[in-house]
Amino acid sequence: MAPSQAAGSAVDPDGLEDRLRRFATIWSRAIFPVTATSLTRPEVEEHLLPLARELSLSLHARPFDPQVAQRVGSALVEAHCTDPEALSRTLGVIDAYLVLYCGSGAPEQTAEESRARCAKLQHALAAGFAQGLRERTLAEQEAIARSSLLARSDAMQALHATEARFSAVFEGAAIGIGIADLEGNVLEVNDTLTRMFGGLEHHVRGRKVTDWAHPEDRPHVWELYRELVRGEREHFRVEKPFYRNDGTVLWTNLTVSLLRDAEGLPEYQLALMEDTTERRLLNLRLRYEATHDALTGLPNRTLFFERLEKALSAGDGARFGLCYLDLDGFKAINDSLGHAAGDRLLVEVADRLQSCATAPGEMVARLGGDEFVALTTGPDTQREVDELATRILTVLGSPICVDGREFSVRGSIGIVEGPAGERTTAEVLRSADITMYRAKSAGGNRFELADPEADARAITRHGLTTALPAALERGEFFIEYQPLVHLGDGSVHGAEALVRWCHPQHGVLGPDQFIPLAEHTGLIVPLGRWVLQEAVRQARYWQERHSDGGPLRINVNLSPAQLHHPGLVTDTVDVLERSGLEPGALCLEVTESALIGADEDLLKPLRQLAEMGVDIALDDFGTGYSNLANLRRLPVSVLKLDRSFTQGMQRHPADPVDLKIVEGIVSLAHSLQLAVTVEGVETGVQAEQLRELGCDTAQGWYYARPGPPDKLHALSLADAV
């Protein structure tokens, strides 16, 4: 490699400078034919290169600031790229090539985000170009105005010389110029102004200024005009529309100046008009593209948030109703048919939704993906929002045909309704999102109304979910132990380890409040390993301190996610070896529902653990499918009967059906060499009945509630005595 090449690689390892150069080359070739400059095309390219660098840096900047592109637009005007075609070609080059050549600078930035930023840069560049062109034109206007004033003043001293000069300025100007008396009668117009109004001079000359009023005139425009003709101001500048002779609208930047006579008295008014119609249409197009979804044509997230904020900030008595819609099962359709078919489905859905929101104060928008929102405002939104949601579900009920196939589209809707001024936009959207997921969890194809208590629970669940990883690192979890009592002699046979979370805000939380969240996030695997380590360590400590030295078993629960984890056997063996606890002193509890339909791949790790001597208990037996014949193929050695079987024994006399069921299960379990443990024992009568029925061990509040390890140790010592 040549030295120069090596140096280039060190300076520009990813070739960004080369890609910027190629981008600038494409840009210069696009705009050079419409650029009024004496520069050569390579010189134009050198001028564009730093501008391309600014766009590239802005594309990846954190935080993102699209206003950089405004300076680029102004720089084009300064480089004499004033032809509107130059702007159009520039926007085309940026749209097609900026992300392609400069979009790989930030790996964390998605392609969708790069495209969204590119669109905003185009908007800002067009705005900068328009501003630069306007400032350049206004400078010309001021020069022309000064020339006009000078020409009028000189006319009184040297009429013939100044007429020629004024005529050259007046007729050759690129902007429209008109002169009127103080009564508003148009006296003179140049050719440019005539062409702006349609090309017929008699339709302009001889008319009165007041004939050109337009419904979209700002309220203060004509007050400024009256102040000028009274001599109270020298000039004013406004954006003003005019009707042309054919009924079309001409938009202008209008500057009107007062011309005074030699004594300083008002005499004439001079109007300078810049035609901004095309620029305005461009801005409107860019605004539309920035506020509407490119696929469906519906208002997008940006416009929806503007409307929602306006609705929420309305005056007293105003109300709003919001329907947050998510299509049920859209991902399956999108994945099976492809994104093109999915897009066509979304377009049809959008059309149907649009037909539902046609009343004043109603709108439908697409937030992204298969999420849509419908907003209604007015004094009676409590009734209207329900009707709107019903109409939406009704129109979605008809099948949609895509690529010759019919699909039934369902939707889940969350409704938030209430008075304006009480909640922020973020709070309303969060409530609507939570409510929509409640509708989806209830089966979909329905709508639910927002409930503050349900919102609070969902927010709490989200907070717990996000706090779980740090809680494990900070040691906020602890274990309580509930004794397993031998029904034959009442001795403590072992204990079940039950994990708790000491949350800084919510206090002590039971496993039912956070274990499902841990399973959903995948944190259940490291949390389960920690519980296993702590429980096994505690069991080993109990064995060492137990008076007779006998084994004290420990039961640890396994979640379905842990069963599928490939490191289950390795982790368990490692924990046992590190603690010195014999495998026979450990019992792993697996719920019956987790093993329904289990194949050999799922049962293999349990078999390996059972072969090592670890007991496997089938927890909550009797609450699921309870295929008794399936017990023979499961590597379990203990059945744990659910507390529902013992509830009937709390009555006197005991429910004979419950007694027969328990007796049958115990008989079957013992015939399969399985021990039986019963949960939820709360009375001595229950305990005695279970002993008579042949159950082996039991646990429940009759013996002890879950508690700290020293409490169980005290029970064990009492048994030993």
Q: What is the pLDDT of residues 84-139, one digit of tens each?
A: 788 888 888 888 888 888 876 566 777 788 888 888 888 888 888 888 878 877 77
Query: Is the Cβ–Cβ distance between 698 and 678 less than 8 Å?
Result: yes
pLDDT of residue 413: 93
pLDDT of residue 624: 60
Predicted TM-score (pTM) of this structure: 0.52
Burial 154-173 (b: 16+ CB within 10 A, else e): eeeeeeeebeeebeebbeeb
pLDDT of residue 14: 57
Greatest extent of the chain over all pairs of C-alpha atoms, in Å:
132
Angle at 701 between CA 697 and CA 707, to 5 degrees: 95
**Coil, strand or helix at 590:** strand
> Under 8 Å CB-to-CB from 431, ≥6 apart: which residues?
414, 416, 423, 450, 455
Nearest partner of 661 among 636, 628, 615, judged by Cα: 628
What tokens appear for 232 in the block?
């109270």
pLDDT of residue 10: 40
pLDDT of residue 300: 93
pLDDT of residue 538: 92
Parts of the chain with a pLDDT under 50: 1-13, 155, 158, 717, 720-721
pLDDT of residue 11: 43
**Coil, strand or helix at 160:** helix
pLDDT of residue 172: 65
Query: Is the Cβ–Cβ distance between 279 and 128 less than 8 Å?
Result: no
pLDDT of residue 585: 93
To which residue do tokens 């810049």 refer?
274
CA distance linking residue 516 with residue 523, whole number of Å: 10
Report the DSSP beta bridge partners of residue 446.
412
Alpha helices for 258-406 (secondary structure H): 277-291, 301-312, 330-337, 339-356, 381-396
**Coil, strand or helix at 640:** strand
pLDDT of residue 515: 85
pLDDT of residue 721: 36
Nearest partner of 115 among 289, 281, 265, judged by Cα: 289
